[in-house]
Structure 1
């Protein structure tokens, strides 16, 4: 979880002021009684009201509560803000814990148009404590990222541009890009391959 905390801290520092204000407003909206901290009840109620039920899992709240005092202060809540904006609220399909670090995904589900990519924690994968379809091949999240990049680069130029445009739109929808999402460029259209930005 410490890596996610560090990423969240860096993400927050680079947010434009209006996004920082939005994070503060979100915190204040969650903190119904105005005591400067978010209780489990306030957390769950706010997320249910805003139809963000993917984040209500107790293991996410517990992971966010760095000092284990049963509530979230603003710094702990900025980690939630980052997780929500980046889509990192991933729960192990076997033991139902929040996946804060490395995890495994079924590569077939990941690369197909499946609704679920079926992620499991390292312990459940290593101890074979999961049930999934026959012949499933699991890869860790870093390997899947590398395979995704390799598959994109191996595709014909027209398909590369299409894939990159889909990724760009996904980042915009997730709200984690700046107004200038032009950092992700089409390959083969005379633009740079390495100019990528999520902020």
Structure 2
């Protein structure tokens, strides 16, 4: 967590004044008694009101509490704020696990692309099959997922360019439609090829 604590402070320092104001307001909103620190009860109640289930507990509070005094000052709160704003509050969906995923973890790409909720596993739960039956089969580690997303975005952009350049000189709509379908198939095949060649773990 040390790296996250440091990143949180640097993240805050690079915010605009308006964004810094929002971060402070969020902290003051959680600080019900106005003592400029968050107790465990204030922390749990605040995150519960925001709808966070996986991190509104004593275990995650202790990770954020860098000096171990049982309270979160503003600097320690910034770690939570950074994780929240950067969408890095990710926890393991393994059976009975719930570990905070701050290093390498595995994500279901189908859920990532198409579902409202992602499905993520820590390395231990992934390798030991410690999870309930999942409807999809392809999981990538987070580094490979970034490469997959980049390749997918590039291919989508290429598809859009090719689609806009299609000219049906014969006025035959079915011919143009077929061409678009063929291009789309190439994109999907390219996605799968990139997935297989660029990822060491599946």
- RMSD value, Cα: 2.3
The corresponding residue for 1:68 is 68
CA offset at residue 125 of structure 1? 1.6
Q: How does 1:57-136 map to 2 (within 5 A)?
A: 57-94=57-94, 95-111=97-113, 113-133=114-134, 136=137
Label 1:154 to 1:90 Cα distance change in 2 as closer, same or farther (>3 A): same
Q: Tell me the number of residue pairs that the alignment of Structure 1 and Structure 2 aligns.
A: 159
Distance in 1 (alpha carbons) for counterparts of 2:135 and 2:18: 48
CA contact (8 A) 1:63 1:98 kept: no
CA offset at residue 132 of structure 1? 3.3
Calculate the TM-score normalised by the size of structure 2. Answer: 0.69
CA offset at residue 59 of structure 1? 3.9
The corresponding residue for 1:137 is 138
**Please, which moves more after superposition, 50-59 or 142-151?**
50-59
* Structure 1 gap segments, 5+ residues each: 161-199
Q: Which has the larger radius of gyration?
A: 2
Distance in 2 (alpha carbons) for counterparts of 1:144 and 1:131: 22
Distance in 2 (alpha carbons) for counterparts of 1:126 and 1:109: 19
Distance in 2 (alpha carbons) for counterparts of 1:62 and 1:120: 22
Distance in 2 (alpha carbons) for counterparts of 1:133 and 1:6: 36
CA contact (8 A) 2:54 2:98 kept: no
Calculate the TM-score normalised by the size of structure 1. Answer: 0.70
CA contact (8 A) 1:40 1:61 kept: yes
